[in-house]
A = this chain, B = another copy of it.
Amino acid sequence: MTRQIKLGAFLPGGGQHVAAWRHPDQPADGATNFEFHKQLALTAERGLFDAYFLADGLAVSFGGGTEGGNAKVAGFEPVTLFSALAPLTKHLGFIATASTSYEEPYNTARKFASLDLISGGRASWNVVTTASEAAARNFNFAEQPPHATRYRRAREHVEVVKKLWDSFEDDAFIRDKESGVFYDTDKMHFADHAGEHFKVNGPLNVPRSPQGHPVIVQAGQSEDGRSLAAATAEVIFTAHQRLDTAQEFYRDIKSRAAAEGRNPDHVLIMPGVSPFVGRTEEEAQEKYERLTSYILEEDGIALLNGLTGGTLDLTGHDLDGPLPPAPPTEGNKSRQVLLRQIADENGFTIRQLYQWVASARGHYTIIGTAGQIADMLQEWFENEAADGFNILPPWLPTSLDDFVDLVIPELQRRGLFRTAYEGRTLRENLGLPIPVNGYAAGRRVAQAAE
């Protein structure tokens, strides 16, 4: 089969751009409006997107680093939201972000396994560590654990969750009314996990779905993040401003995955792209400038502060001067480096920098016609920079509609994108294999039932 582009859609109801909610088209209450999320899901499914992707945070984001800025001060927990959207859709996958830092793996495993069953195999977990002092203070900590500790916990968390997802073999349930045998106890397995952060006996009380496991997504860019991603991720969300850095990342992850004994084709690299689509270049530029005009100075400053880990104090700085230096923090390290790179390479002032990152917080922003945008996606896709893309429409629903109505048909004309869903599950659409049950395959030692 011809290799085709895979597409995720980041559709926070409050909009992606820091000032999206001020746009006349955008429902100002979108972040907490279920009917609006339903509309977005149906549009994404009409556009044949592989999945609806949502970020998440475990605190109100005062730093402004969150999509949508203040419009995202409150919203839905993603798994709860996606579960409500699942029966209203048929093919769309759901990638929910959930932190490994402040949740127990049994609870994580359960909610994703439940969503996966309810949706008939369309669930996916975007595994993150939470880099936020505010979140730490919501979970009994005075300050957040160090970066390296968070990543060790993340790796162990994923390991436990995967063990739990294999608690029942696919043919464990006999359900023979005549004999009264409901399940085969030999096909139920105990995780019996005891590690640095977790002791979890199992089994999980949810069976596997038609896709085996929810698809594992990750976005780490740091050394710790790349290592975790290469070991466990099936889809990698990544932020790049240039083809060459995207290629470097793509090749690095594929070779790391191979070194882990994995098939590199089963690790899909999907950079983020924020498109301003116009019928002409001028129209696209006007859309960009109009949205930019809605940014308040204090929101722009909060955005930069939030993205750089909350330590970049811009008070008293000339917004039309250069970005001052700041020490690295225990927060999202790669994002701090990326912002600095964007400022340096473009010679941006503080104001120009926040205007540029306001739509996608460091992901690639492109302003142009459907043809120009398709050219860019095609170039990255055909040159070892991407297996697909996570599209971040700057405001909603208009930028999503624009992409679905203008860019998708162009990609289809070029044979780069599907014209109908290939399968029933997210894995089938992404071309990812169903994970073999580790116990059934004898790769994990089955514990005797007590």
Footprint of B on A, CB under 8 Å?
19, 21-22, 24, 28-29, 32, 34, 38, 57-62, 69-71, 73-77, 79-81, 83-88, 102-104, 106-107, 110-111, 113-115, 117-118, 120, 134, 137-142, 167-168, 173, 175, 177, 180, 182-183, 188, 198-207, 294, 296, 299, 449-450
- Interchain nearest-CB distance for A139 vs B (Å): 6
Inter-subunit contact B140/A200 (CB<8 Å): yes
Are B296 and A180 in contact (CB-based, < 8 A)?
A: yes
Is the pair A76, B296 in contact by a Cβ cutoff of 8 Å? no
Q: How far is the CB of A71 from chain B (nearest CB, A)?
A: 6
Q: How far is the CA of A74 from the CA of B175 in the complex (A)?
A: 12
Q: Is the CB of B206 within 8 A of A77?
A: yes
Query: Contact at A80–B83, with CB atoms within 8 Å?
Result: yes
Contacting pair B81 A139 (CB below 8 A) = no
B199 touches A140 (CB 8 A): yes
- Chain B residue at minimal CB-CB distance from A30: B175
Contact A111 B77 (CB under 8 A): yes
In the complex, chain B residues whose CB is within 8 Å of the CB of A104 = 102-103, 139-140
Q: How far is the CA of A84 from the CA of B188 in the complex (A)?
A: 27
Would A84 and B81 count as touching, CB distance under 8 A?
no
Q: Is the CB of B139 within 8 A of A206?
A: no
Q: Is the CB of B114 within 8 A of A183?
A: no
Question: Is B76 a contact of A106 with CB atoms below 8 Å?
Answer: no
How many copies of the chain does the oligomer comprise?
A: 2
Residues of B within 8 A of A74 (CB): 167-168, 173, 204-207
A38's contact among B34, B87, B207, B294, by CB below 8 Å, is which?
B87
Known: A22-B177, A80-B118, A104-B140. 18 other contacts (CB 8 A): A22-B180, A34-B87, A34-B117, A38-B87, A60-B203, A60-B205, A74-B205, A75-B206, A77-B113, A77-B114, A80-B80, A84-B118, A102-B104, A103-B107, A104-B139, A106-B139, A107-B107, A137-B199
A-B contact pairs, 8 of them (CB 8 A): A24-B177, A28-B177, A34-B117, A60-B205, A73-B205, A80-B111, A84-B87, A138-B201
| Residues on the B chain within 8 Å of A115, using CB | 80
Task: Given A84-B83, A200-B138, check contact A114 B22 (CB 8 Å).
Answer: no
B180 lies within 8 A of A299 (CB): yes
The residue in chain B whose Cβ has the minimal distance to the Cβ of A27 is B175
Contact A29 B173 (CB under 8 A): yes
Q: How far is the CA of A76 from the CA of B116 in the complex (A)?
A: 10
A77 and B110 contact, CB distance less than 8 A = yes
Measured in the bound complex, the distance between the Cα atoms of B307 and A27 in whole Å is 51
Return the chain B residue nearest A207 by Cβ. Answer: B74
| Chain B CB within 10 A, most for which of A38, A73, A77, A86 | A77
Chain B: minimal CB distance from A209 (Å): 9
The answer to whether B58 and A118 have CB atoms under 8 Å apart is no
Does A118 contact B34, Cβ atoms closer than 8 Å? Answer: yes
A267 to chain B, nearest CB (A): 28
Q: Known: A177-B28, A206-B77. Contact between A70 and B118, CB under 8 A?
A: no
